[in-house]
Amino acid sequence: MSERPPELGWMRLFVEVAALGSFSSAAARLGLTQPAVSYQIRRLEEQFGVSLLRRQHRGVELTAEGERLLEVAAKAVGDIDALARSFRAEAERPVIRLRTDYAFSALWLIPRMESFRLLHPETDIQIVATQRVEAGLRDDADPAIVFGSGAEFSAVGTLLLPEKVVPICTQRFLDRNGPFENPGQLAKARLIHLDTPMPPPWFDWRRYFTEFSAVRDAHAGQGDISFNTYSLVVQAALSEQGVALGWMGLVDTLLSARMLVEAGPPLEAPDRGYWLIPARSPSAHNERLSAWLVDEVRGNV
């Protein structure tokens, strides 16, 4: 008898013959001929070296060895069929790709994702985060949330979060280094900056102090620190490294929990902020995501 492991393509055929008790019925269900099924069973018995079926006048029935083989084969076929169904279901699940920057995805979107999953459990979201989504870039299939002005995006997008910033730090840092009763006093503090390779389209410390006519002397910034992502700016503020500019909508939960506190007056740019830009080619799934985003923003205003 051959020591080579038996081929596995026989399992479904054997399980069908055993379930239906007939070569002809199994052949009809599997789209084969009756002689082809009979031949495969004979080959299987040769490989195992035992009789698996007893041929009867009106069909076949399992031998004791056949019963033992069926117990294993039926479970294997069932498990494989269930796995195939799960693979197909996963492949057919709608996936929405949403493009945005690191700050919005980490500080606003991810903490709220469970709400969307509860409303739309049949839909998966793939967040594509980048340092900054290019202005004017509109994708055919994917919606985006981008930072910019109304001049750039009002014709195609919806303003989700108007830009409003407020100086933020921990209460302990404020107690040790404050109070900062006006921007002029704040200009003397140790500041945390969001570093950009060119003048940013959002408020930075220089523009903040300019708006309030506050002057910062040359020695005040010697202890400042800078980061190239806003999540690190916020983390540094939480670590009591200095005062950062907090974007309302991104740091609200930290302020509500008193993990951070306001350390100066706010500054607003109502026509600038985070815009929801729909895909060029609309879809029902994208529209559900857009509606949820708008509702979430309005519910937290």
pLDDT in tens, 109-168: 999 989 888 888 888 888 888 776 555 555 566 889 999 999 989 998 999 999 999 999
Angle at 90 between CA 86 and CA 95, to 5 degrees: 170
Domain map of the chain by residue range? 11-92, 96-299
> What CATH number belongs to 11-92?
1.10.10.10
Tokens of 145: 């949330």
pLDDT for res 135: 52
pLDDT for res 300: 64
DSSP H helices, 178-283, are 183-186, 205-211, 230-238, 252-256
Strand partners of residue 53: 62
Alpha carbon 33 to chain centroid distance?
A: 49
Judge contact between 114 and 138, C-beta under 8 A: no
pLDDT of 9 higher than 90: no
pLDDT in tens, 248-286: 999 999 999 999 999 999 999 999 999 999 888 878 888
When the pLDDT of each residue in the chain is averaged and rounded to a whole number, the result is 88
Indicate yes or no: pTM above 0.85.
no
Q: Work out the average pLDDT over 230-248.
A: 96
Rounded to an integer, what distance in angstroms lies between the CA atom of residue 295 and that of residue 99? 19
* 96-299 carries CATH number 3.40.190.290: yes
pLDDT for res 230: 93
